[in-house]
């Protein structure tokens, strides 16, 4: 196996691990106020999600659109498989000595099914949009301006992803309920603002990482032109 193939497997593994973990941990919410400027109230499931877009951008740059699409489909299959395993684990009864009760397990993982469906519907739309916008700007700029295709593709696709998953979880499945004194639309807009701004911040932060990865790896393994 060549270095190029090994690196692709590592990137694909990181992508799938980040994607699956999003759907398993999403029920916990936290508050974060960076530099006292803005208070984020968001799900911990959003933390690994920007990694998926960074990885698909790196794969798109080095391996091309076809390989990026393959990783996206692999992530979908892995997420559905894990969801089925969680549903099975939730269905079987506990033993008398089990340290985790049926109720506790169900409270933590019982909503994984609807969450995975909502996440995957949003995920497929956002990832395919991200890959295509990335290659549109790469072609338009003739391979220059890495920052433009990295941020231009990620920011728009993250807006699509955040809006889609919240619409499904709040209005279709009712998985996320509005807090007392707030209606569903107000809660949706608040979570949309929080999630989208957080993802924009992550996109800006990962731009140096994207540059560093391309700068270091392209001389070693080439880019998508070699793959095609």
pLDDT digits (tens, 9 = 90+) for 125-161: 777 788 888 888 888 888 777 778 877 787 888 788 8
> Please, which contacts does 121-124 make with residues 24 or more away whose CB atoms are closer than 8 Å?
121/164, 121/165, 121/168, 122/160, 122/161, 122/162, 122/164, 122/165, 122/168, 123/19, 123/52, 123/72, 123/75, 123/76, 123/79, 123/161, 123/165, 124/72, 124/76
178: domain CATH number is 1.10.1760
Give the phi and the psi of residue 34 in degrees, each rounded to 5. -70, 125
Q: What pTM did the predictor assign? A: 0.80
CA 77 to CA 170: how far, in whole Å?
24
Residue 112 pLDDT more than 60? Answer: no
Angle at 97 between CA 92 and CA 102, to 5 degrees: 35
* pLDDT, position 184: 80
Q: Do the beta carbons of residue 214 and residue 61 sit within 8 Å?
A: yes
Identify the pLDDT of residue 223: 65
pLDDT at position 114 is 64
Q: How confident is the model at residue 61 (pLDDT cuts 50, 70, 90)?
A: confident
Cβ 175 vs Cβ 115: under 8 Å: yes
Whole-number pLDDT of residue 187: 80
Q: Which domain holds residue 23?
A: 3-227
If you ran DSSP here, which 8-state letter would residue 34 be given? G
Tokens for 14, please give them.
């990181």
**How many structural domains comprise the chain?**
1
pLDDT in tens, 163-192: 887 887 777 766 666 677 677 888 888 888
Per-residue pLDDT reduced to its tens digit, 204-225: 888 888 889 888 988 888 765 5
């Amino acid at each position: 196996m060549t270095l190029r193939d090994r690196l692709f497997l590592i990137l694909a593994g990181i992508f799938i691990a980040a994607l699956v973990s999003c759907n398993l941990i999403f029920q916990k919410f936290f508050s974060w106020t960076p530099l006292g400027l803005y208070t984020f109230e968001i799900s911990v499931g959003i933390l690994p999600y920007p990694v998926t877009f960074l990885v698909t951008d790196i794969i798109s740059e080095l391996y091309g659109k076809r390989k990026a699409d393959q990783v996206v489909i692999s992530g979908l299959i892995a997420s559905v498989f894990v969801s089925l395993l969680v549903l099975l684990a939730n269905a079987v009864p506990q033993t008398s000595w089990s340290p985790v009760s049926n109720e506790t397990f169900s409270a933590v993982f019982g909503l994984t099914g609807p969450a995975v469906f909502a996440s995957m519907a949003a995920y497929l739309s956002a990832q395919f949009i991200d890959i295509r916008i990335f290659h549109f700007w790469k072609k338009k700029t003739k391979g220059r301006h890495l920052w433009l295709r990295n941020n231009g593709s990620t920011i728009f696709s993250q807006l699509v992803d955040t809006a889609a998953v919240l619409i499904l979880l709040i209005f279709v499945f009712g998985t996320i309920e509005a807090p007392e004194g707030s209606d569903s639309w107000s809660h949706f807009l608040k979570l949309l603002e929080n999630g989208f701004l957080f993802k924009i911040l992550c996109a800006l932060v990962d731009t140096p990482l994207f540059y560093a990865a391309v700068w270091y790896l392209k001389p070693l393994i080439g880019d998508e032109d070699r793959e095609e």
